Structure 1
Amino acid sequence: MNAPERSAVHRADAAFQEMHGRAPSGVWSAPGRVNLIGEHTDYNDGFVLPFALPHRTAVAASARDDGLLVATTLGDDGKAQHATPIAVSALEPGAVQGWAAYPSGVAWALREQGVHGGADLVIAGDVPAGAGLSSSHALECAVALALLGLAGRAPDGAAGSPALSEIARWVQRSENDFVGAPTGLLDQTASLCCTEAHALFLDVRSGKSEQVLFDAAANGLRVLVIDTRASHSHTDGGYGARRSGCERAAELLGVPALRDVAVAELPEVLPRLPEELRPLVRHVVTEDDRVLRAVDHLRSGRMAEIGPLLTASHTSLRDDYRVSVRELDVAVESALAAGALGARMIGGGFGGSAIALVPEDALTAVEEAVVAGFALESLGTPRLFTAVPSAGAGRDK
């Protein structure tokens, strides 16, 4: 177990005992994620390639017999924030606001699956919030496993137990319909299904997945995560507008989803669309192709060759999908100038984090260049760390 995981699990467990005067029935945790490549392709039935971070959100939980959901989260300063207790039977979209909407939304979605019981939840985590590293989905996935575990429905492969792919869709429903963020399936599936030392190659349409070996250190490389500290949100409209644009383009083209358009068809397809939709389609179609090529490189042991694909992905997200911001561009430009093999923004955009694929012997130079680049632009100091593909969600205690 890595250090961030121990920290989150220990903090949640200890805080639960302090608040409730007894040990929790169990502690479950789920990781944040880095999406190596494949951005805004998940809600277009396409391909993604994420891996789990060692940073996790943990939930210490016990069942209640009064039907109430009582949730507490620990801030970075260790102070507890208590949500107003609410009956699981009373949960409806719009009934809960703020951070408590995330665990409440999961309880609401699971209620439709026959999970009705109340619970005491104490939440602690190490996944940086607002950094595009899927902190909200780590929280939701950990809560989902906790509530299912308390109800005797853990995803353990026993007859009648839910598959991780089912749980991912339940979590997506909680995010889409309760919280109001129109996210796809990438983040939930990554948090639940990723494995140590691998990236998860997922065909979102079919649900088929493959664990692709991704050992950067063995190849003399590092994945540097650059948290720009420019906070982002999926509920502010920009993400939803682009998703709606993709759906409209698919409808105009007469295809189920943009995944059904091939790169070779773009010269014929794009002129048939309104001008404002063409860049969205170009990004999604070429991004799917980049994912497939990246997977081929990794399968063949040519990890360094994914670098240019990462950079091309950022260019497409910046120019066609128009979801980058200056902080993300500075991160990418500074990393590339200092020797990174490739770099790109990750997540939904409008802030958050970038990644850079860096030769091990250039790591310090790249880190220093990124910090200097932010200072030159009078931007806040970014948070930097190297990411190692880690285990997905599960029960810790």
Structure 2
Amino acid sequence: MSDRFDAAEAAGGFTEYYGRAPGGVWSAPGRVNLIGEHTDYNDGFVFPFAIDRRTVVALGDRDDQVLRVSSTFAPDPVSVHLDDLAPDAVSGWAAYPLGVAWALRESGADLAHVRGVDLHLASDVPIGAGLSSSAAIECAVAVALNEHWGLGLDRPALAKAGQLAENRVVGAPTGIMDQSASLLGEADAGVFLDCRSLDADVIPLGFRDAGLVVLVIDTHVSHAHATGGYAARRASCEAGARALGVDSLRDVRVADLARAEAELDDETFRRVRHVVTENQRVLDAVRSLREHGPASIGPFLDASHVSMRDDFEISVPELDTAVEAAQGAGAVGARMTGGGFGGAAIALVADALVPDVTESVRAAFAARGFREPTVFAVAAAQGARRDG
């Protein structure tokens, strides 16, 4: 966990809100997606890693069946009775943690005889930066409730519950990548995930030994997955799959793109081309990482950004500026990360070049009159866990 954030701080916040000590503290990280964007809900491949910024949840029992949640990022606690849990029972920020409780029940967990709990959330995962602050909340709460209530669900099942909460309660049509990364991540390793089978392979990244660091460039252009752009892209992918007669775009290969271009309108084809080529880039990047080391994956990161910018059209000028400035200052590779329409870019950078890349990005933003970005390094970290 980061130096600024620990279990004791979350436990202290719980005590301040509820007047008693918590029974336990759990945490889960945000994630950076190294490569594989908008492939997850198309049954494809992704390669994210959990980051060393976390959401912490402190939990204490109640004597009734009420769930109450407070946080450092909202002024008032929100409560709901277990019997009243439903997709429309909560809204706003509380939909993430309380939606998980509903999703656990929908996943088959017996909540009829459990006691309610008080929860207190704190986080140093930036909100709206494309680092999945939402999945960090969901996964921290999922592991806490799973252990405290003795539900016995495994990590893939908890990932599904987190995704269900985000899809049905929050209303964001996201895939399962974020929750899988947050739950399965390990130090200095990425999670190579097949989003169809949910088979996950934890692969050493080797960034530390290679003298490389991942810089996150938060543009401060906010995005919201529950709004139209993300949903429209997903709808285009589903329409493309139907038109091509396949269950999902996972079943379309690069060699099939010539036929797809002949059968689809231009916009749908470009959406399809991004997903199909991005799936191949994930496979190629993982293979190159294994065979040639981390410095070899730069071209795949660069090509991924071009595809998102031109074919999927989810970049914004600030993201393009961040990527171009990082590349120009010597980054191994750079791309926007996350769902798009704002958020963050990442750059894989040699340790010695971090100051140059950082200054180059800031200067480029200033020259274009953009708000100053926040640039910080992240390292691949352990996934969700109990902290106290």
Q: What TM-score do you get using the length of structure 1 for normalisation?
A: 0.94
**Correspondence for 2:217 among 210, 226, 250:** 226
User: Map of 1:1-397 to 2, 5 A cutoff?
Assistant: 2-4=2-4, 7-75=5-73, 81-112=75-106, 113-116=109-112, 117-153=115-151, 161-397=152-388
CA distance in 1, matches of 2:38, 2:92: 25
SS in 2 for 1:381: coil
* Deviation of the 1:8 alpha carbon: 4.1
Task: Figure out how many residues of one structure are paired with residues of the other and give that number.
Answer: 384
SS in 1 for 2:220: strand
SS in 2 for 1:84: strand
Worse overlay, 91-100 or 248-257: 91-100
Superposition CA RMSD, Å: 1.3
SS in 2 for 1:248: helix
* Deviation of the 1:361 alpha carbon: 2.0
* Deviation of the 1:217 alpha carbon: 2.4
* Deviation of the 1:93 alpha carbon: 1.8
2:2/2:54 contact within 8 Å kept: no
CA distance in 1, matches of 2:293, 2:259: 33
Q: Mark the runs of 5 or more structure 2 residues left unpaired by the alignment.
A: none
CA distance in 1, matches of 2:193, 2:39: 11
CA distance in 1, matches of 2:335, 2:87: 35
2:315/2:341 contact within 8 Å kept: yes
1:138/1:188 contact within 8 Å kept: yes
CA distance in 2, matches of 1:215, 1:188: 23
CA distance in 1, matches of 2:286, 2:32: 15
Task: Give the AA of the match of 1:326.
Answer: P
CA distance in 2, matches of 1:272, 1:12: 55
Task: Give the AA of the match of 2:46.
Answer: V
1:33/1:187 contact within 8 Å kept: yes
CA distance in 1, matches of 2:118, 2:208: 41
* Deviation of the 1:2 alpha carbon: 4.4
SS in 2 for 1:215: coil
CA distance in 1, matches of 2:237, 2:350: 36
- Deviation by residue 1:123-148 (Cα, 9 ceiling, x = unmatched): 00110001000001100111111112
Task: Give the AA of the match of 1:250.
Answer: A
CA distance in 2, matches of 1:228, 1:33: 17
Deviation above 6 Å: which 4+ runs of structure 1?
none
Matched residue, 1:158: none
Structure 1's 308 and 99: CA in aligned 2 closer, same or farther, altered over 3 A? same
* Deviation of the 1:302 alpha carbon: 2.4
Task: Give the AA of the match of 1:48.
Answer: V
Task: Give the AA of the match of 1:114.
Answer: D
* Deviation of the 1:221 alpha carbon: 1.6
1:63/1:150 contact within 8 Å kept: no
CA distance in 1, matches of 2:102, 2:77: 15
2:11/2:58 contact within 8 Å kept: yes
* Deviation of the 1:21 alpha carbon: 2.6
SS in 2 for 1:354: strand
CA distance in 2, matches of 1:10, 1:348: 33
Q: Mark the runs of 5 or more structure 1 residues left unpaired by the alignment.
A: 154-160
* Deviation of the 1:238 alpha carbon: 0.8
* Deviation of the 1:118 alpha carbon: 1.6
1:106/1:144 contact within 8 Å kept: yes
Percent identity for Structure 1 against Structure 2: 52
CA distance in 1, matches of 2:7, 2:132: 18
CA distance in 2, matches of 1:245, 1:367: 36
Q: What TM-score do you get using the length of structure 2 for normalisation?
A: 0.96
* Deviation of the 1:81 alpha carbon: 2.2
- Deviation by residue 1:231-277 (Cα, 9 ceiling, x = unmatched): 11101111011111111111111111101111112112221112220
CA distance in 2, matches of 1:145, 1:222: 29
